[in-house]
Structure 1
């Protein structure tokens, strides 16, 4: 495909670099002691810019938590939409939102990431504040779709920013961002619970408008970060990069990674849709188990994401960890399948244990998807490639719940075991394909170095190299 890795002085691309590490991690005895999570939040990889972006992420996800927790009730109580209309509205918005990541990625090849992020947040101010003015299915569909499109695009730009700001330490930044985002989602859900307790139309309208206006503050925080010029492909590697290698839609190897990554994101649908519906319809567990699942997920993400990130450092360890994701998901699916023919107490314990196991898979997946999306992309087209990679989670969030409700839950315990087995197999395929692509990129890198007269670092030395 003509993929090449362009080199820069700091081992990455752009001003911050998104270097890829192909060697093994240093031995534990030689590695410096990792500071605690709070210390890393005060001094994150990327310095002042990263700290400001983490603060913006926190406020952004508080708003997302409020909106996600109250939108169905808003549409029901205030707008009097039927369940079928709400389902169609959210389904269409989710499908259109799939286009957000690639559009944002393509724009980031020509415009600074900061500018695109600010534009996304300002658009959300307009679309959310317009919701109380929209009455009827079609106007609400337009506002919700625009909000979803901007939301998905902004998430891709956050990934590009992390690569530029954190460089080789992007895995640590990713773990910190997930800690921040999960804490923010919990706070947002709590604020939404207060509005639900009051339950009046006026309160719901105030919540939506306040949420929309909060994105003004988010945009202001993003504006305080440094302006980084976009890295155009023609500027990165004009001699060796080809138009074919810079086009993610013509890169079969990268598209295979994205396709497999859709299935390796199913933990989200399992936790938010699969376990709750299974608990209610197929077990004797009390309904209180559903919020308990969310509590377990949030607490594990906040307190365990950093320790897990310390064990998945670099592209090759991330590729190998794809197998462990499948194994953990299979174990979680087996627990869910076994909870359907037990008493209330045993079903409750089994489902909570399944939630913990699936959340463990989520902790691994978040790092694997993040690291491989960056490491498998050519350095001279990072933004556009990451835009395509961002489609995986967007597609899973749209199709995952449908697949679970119409296929897995309908098939019963066999459906869960089949799902876990398939994902485990796809994890093996992802591992092998990713390692082969990394080997190929290493060979191309050595050829480029020889052609330009640069010295080649020994294989497995752990020397930083630019992202591929």
Structure 2
């Protein structure tokens, strides 16, 4: 009698979070496919369909980006009070409604209003998905985030190819079809998200930094001070360590703007490299992220390991910005080789920083204020997207030598963050506490008091 063969785990079985984790990955890839359809032609839609001038388009996108900054902290605060799945669905439907409203008018003020209203749930949705993944995947959150980033890049690629095919027709109606396609993607992912179970939130624990409670303890008795610390929940706006961490992380997120904005413009305006290199370098970036995001995630699977990643991250920023400077000093061959090297270095910087930032931002967030902390940290990426283009274009205007200067500034940001977190990534000695509910998928994180 033959013995039954053991069941081998498939690739899908190894995805953290089980069925809901896999379902949310499907949501992410559909979401980014729809976004890829629309993102590349947003400015062109306002130009050719709505009839706006270049200055009007620039101002509209700047205003909407500024308003969108508030989306992350608002989402974080709400996530500490309401079910995160329902909030994700709400943001998806609001994004679709705001986008669909663009079809109803060509009036500049209304277009600006609808764009700004769409930016709020767009930034909020990113934080909520991150929070959902952290609660669902628990200790495997770094691996799950790496898989999610891979699916996101695949979705962007599919959407970008679809947009390129549609725009190749030369029809103005193609822009409207791409917008509607993105709206439909929001409807689909909202329906899929409703099928996801609400992940258990972390147990509420009292975690208050010394800085956050200093004012409450001033001129008070020992008993009154202890009561104030016990009753006041942690607040990222009063946590000096988290404020410093978020500020330095905002600088480290510049890899995105350098790759997506600066490199194409630098190729065209400052080097002898062929213009056709631009899409090839973007494809190279996407392929490297898809191939290496998951394998490299294991190097940041713990909080101390994530902090150690800041060292090679600094070196990659220095190498990437130096490559951009060198690309403007020679002919087409030198420029092409230097640009390829720069994009490879900056892409690995993107991969490593994504892993480190994910783990550190979650680990530094107290359990009872996890949403508020992650929402506040969302300002780092949103702020970089808002101010980053202005910064990198200023660097380009200053000439090739400005790139190494920017690289040194990014090295300084990484070093500052590394030093700042030195006493905040080592697990503290366990203190007596009520037994944790074993059903929780996210372990309680201890944050050092400072």
TM category, shorter: 0.7 to 0.9
CA–CA distance in 2 between the matches of 1:92 and 1:244?
A: 35
Give a deviation string over 1:228-272, Cα, whole Å, max 9, x none: 465685799999974555111111111110001000111001101
2:33 aligned with 1:62: yes
CA–CA distance in 1 between the matches of 2:22 and 2:227?
A: 37
Moved more, 303-312 or 235-244: 235-244
Where does residue 210 of structure 1 map in the other structure?
A: 181
SS in 2 for 1:413: coil
Matches for 1:316-355 after TM superposition, within 5 Å: 316-355=304-343
CA–CA distance in 2 between the matches of 1:59 and 1:413?
A: 39
Where does residue 404 of structure 2 map in the other structure?
A: 417
SS in 1 for 2:197: coil
CA–CA distance in 1 between the matches of 2:337 and 2:198?
A: 50
Higher RCO, 1 vs 2 (CA within 8 Å, ≥6 residues apart):
1
CA–CA distance in 2 between the matches of 1:150 and 1:467?
A: 31
Contact (CA 8 Å) 2:21, 2:136: kept in 1 or not? yes
Where does residue 173 of structure 1 map in the other structure?
A: 144
Contact (CA 8 Å) 1:249, 1:255: kept in 2 or not? yes
Where does residue 95 of structure 2 map in the other structure?
A: 124
Relative distance call for 1:92 and 1:336 in structure 2 (3 A) is same
After superposition, the CA RMSD in angstroms is 2.2
Where does residue 83 of structure 1 map in the other structure?
A: 54
2:391 aligned with 1:403: yes
SS in 2 for 1:435: coil
TM-score for both structures, normalised by structure 1: 0.85
Contact (CA 8 Å) 1:61, 1:184: kept in 2 or not? yes
CA–CA distance in 1 between the matches of 2:30 and 2:403?
A: 36
Q: Give the deviation of 1:201 after TM superposition.
A: 2.5
2:408 aligned with 1:429: no
Moved more, 231-240 or 280-289: 231-240
| Structure 2: gaps spanning 5 or more residues | 1-7, 209-225, 436-442
CA–CA distance in 1 between the matches of 2:59 and 2:76?
A: 27
Matches for 1:20-419 after TM superposition, within 5 Å: 39-228=10-199, 233=204, 242=230, 244-406=232-394, 408-419=395-406
| Structure 1: gaps spanning 5 or more residues | 1-34, 455-463
TM-score for both structures, normalised by structure 2: 0.88
Q: Give the deviation of 1:105 after TM superposition.
A: 0.4
CA–CA distance in 2 between the matches of 1:467 and 1:179?
A: 30
Contact (CA 8 Å) 1:129, 1:213: kept in 2 or not? no
Q: Give the deviation of 1:49 after TM superposition.
A: 0.8
